[in-house]
Structure 1
């Protein structure tokens, strides 16, 4: 059995607090959040830890707000952990690309529509992403710019620019992310 801190583990423990009916603090839930994996991105793991499509109010019970899409709308937020596996240059594309795209859209709604089909991995979202590298290293590439290496302990504030992540290193890279949905004026 994998240890909780083992990067190969396919779940993350999530503890949520809230206010009881009498106003006292309670642990509203203590559960494992499973990894979301797709045939389009073999080895990548996506953990949807928390989110909402609008700002919540306090006090609240700690009940998980309803949301469906991977990226938040303006005024919403997402709390996620993303694990990027080392690149495998010999990886073969899925045999049925249309099915792989459908499965990815089903598991990570809204992700595919942000992607540039001409440049795999390159995408743009209407979010401000607050990213902390908890483990490993990877490359952040902005549209038209040289890649920037980010590693354990680095923080990135991504202000809605078109970008891609790559992991040319020998071990997984984990990115802890808070995405804030914003309105794009142009």
Structure 2
């Protein structure tokens, strides 16, 4: 649900719609829910209309509010998957995601953002560049300041990550 303010200052329910997951053949079992975001700072009052945003990760000054469901490790794309087509499909439904990934290290990526993450269910491992691994479980919170990292789920159940990503400029 989204609230806002009418032009007369009255509080209003701006929208109440279900958000469907984005899924891609390249990452079977993963679900990406884009809940809200903006590519630039927003101001108040506003009517609660969804701001304009274009890519999965926010630019400097933008933000994203997302839910990501990580499937258990081992879910591989279908045999014979046309990788060129799968990459194009993923870029279409999750713009900018593939470009942040390190092709030499599957799943490893780095974003220019501060990420506020809450594990809603299940458990997973946050792997940092250099070999550090951090076990996370439902109820855990982590704040990331733009490191190279990857997510893994070595458990039998999916893991839900509620994320707020704040786009920041990277110096150097």
TM-score with structure 1 setting the length: 0.90
Measured at CA, do residues 132 and 32 of structure 1 come closer, stay the same or move farther in structure 2, by a change above 3 Å? same
1:11-61 deviations in Å (ceiling 9; x for gaps)? xxxx00000121110000000111000111000000000000111000000
Which residue in the other structure is 1:82 paired with? 68
Which residue in the other structure is 2:22 paired with? 36
1:36-90 deviations in Å (ceiling 9; x for gaps)? 0011100000000000011100000000001110000000000000000111266
Which residue in the other structure is 1:163 paired with? 149
Q: Could you tell me how far 1:146 is from its partner in structure 2?
A: 2.7
Q: Number of paired residues?
A: 172
Which residue in the other structure is 1:7 paired with? none
- SS at 2:136's partner residue? strand
Which residue in the other structure is 1:23 paired with? 9
TM-score with structure 2 setting the length: 0.97
- Please say if residues 46 and 80 of structure 1, whose CA atoms lie closer than 8 Å, have aligned partners that are also in contact: yes
Deviates more, 1:140-149 or 1:157-166: 140-149
Measured at CA, do residues 110 and 167 of structure 1 come closer, stay the same or move farther in structure 2, by a change above 3 Å? same
- SS at 2:33's partner residue? strand
Measured at CA, do residues 87 and 57 of structure 1 come closer, stay the same or move farther in structure 2, by a change above 3 Å? same
RMSD (Å), alpha carbons:
1.2
- SS at 2:18's partner residue? strand
- The aligned runs of 1:92-107 (5 Å cut-off) are 92=78, 95-107=81-93
- Please say if residues 40 and 94 of structure 1, whose CA atoms lie closer than 8 Å, have aligned partners that are also in contact: no
Which residue in the other structure is 2:101 paired with? 115
Which residue in the other structure is 2:135 paired with? 149
Q: Could you tell me how far 1:95 is from its partner in structure 2?
A: 1.7
Measured at CA, do residues 90 and 128 of structure 1 come closer, stay the same or move farther in structure 2, by a change above 3 Å? closer
Unaligned runs of 5+ in 1: 1-14
Higher relative contact order (CA 8 A, sep 6+): 2
Q: Could you tell me how far 1:147 is from its partner in structure 2?
A: 1.4
